[in-house]
Structure 1
Amino acid sequence: MAFTLTQLSALEEAIASGELSVQYDGKKVEYRSLDDLQKAYNMVRGSLLASGQLSDAGTNRGPSSLAIFSRD
């Protein structure tokens, strides 16, 4: 099954809003839990990354560091 960016966007919106139902292209899918919704999101995102339809640029920035300065 080929996934679309529209499906990924619908899943992102549902996760952000806390809704368990997702609508796209005239279809509606109801998930049992937020965990199921997040699993679906990860599956669709992974598929889109693997097919080259989605770029991982900017989402994997690698390690970061924090410097804290104080005057003693």
Structure 2
Amino acid sequence: MTIAELLAQREKLQNARFKGVLSVMIDGEAMTYKSDQQMAAALASIEAEILKLTRGSRPRTIRPQTSRGL
């Protein structure tokens, strides 16, 4: 998924959650959550995916090794 699609899904889920609604229609597919906790978990998953796509891979840590040449 693209970042734009994930952002749109997050917005729809947040709007439904703030209204207290547990059913959401995303891309023509109806999703019904059993509880607010389940919806919060879905939002957390979307957030994690957005962060992964925006940050890219983790920066590498380079540790130089030196010797005295003995």
Q: What is the RMSD computed on CA atoms of the aligned residues?
A: 1.7
1:1-72 correspondence runs (5 A): 2=1, 4-52=6-54
Q: Which stretches in structure 1 are left out of the alignment for 5+ residues?
A: 54-72
Q: What is the aligned-residue identity percentage? A: 27
Q: Which has more radius of gyration? A: 2
- The CA deviation at 1:5 is 1.3
- The CA deviation at 1:10 is 1.0
- The CA deviation at 1:51 is 0.5
Count of aligned residue pairs for this structure pair:
52
Point out 4+ residue stretches in structure 1 off by more than 6 angstroms.
none
Calculate the TM-score normalised by the size of structure 1.
0.64
Deviations 1:1-51 (A, max 9, x none): x36211111111111101101112211100000000000001101111110
For 1:33 and 1:24, how far apart are their aligned partners in 2?
18
Q: Which stretches in structure 2 are left out of the alignment for 5+ residues?
A: 56-70
For 1:10 and 1:51, how far apart are their aligned partners in 2?
19
Calculate the TM-score normalised by the size of structure 2.
0.66
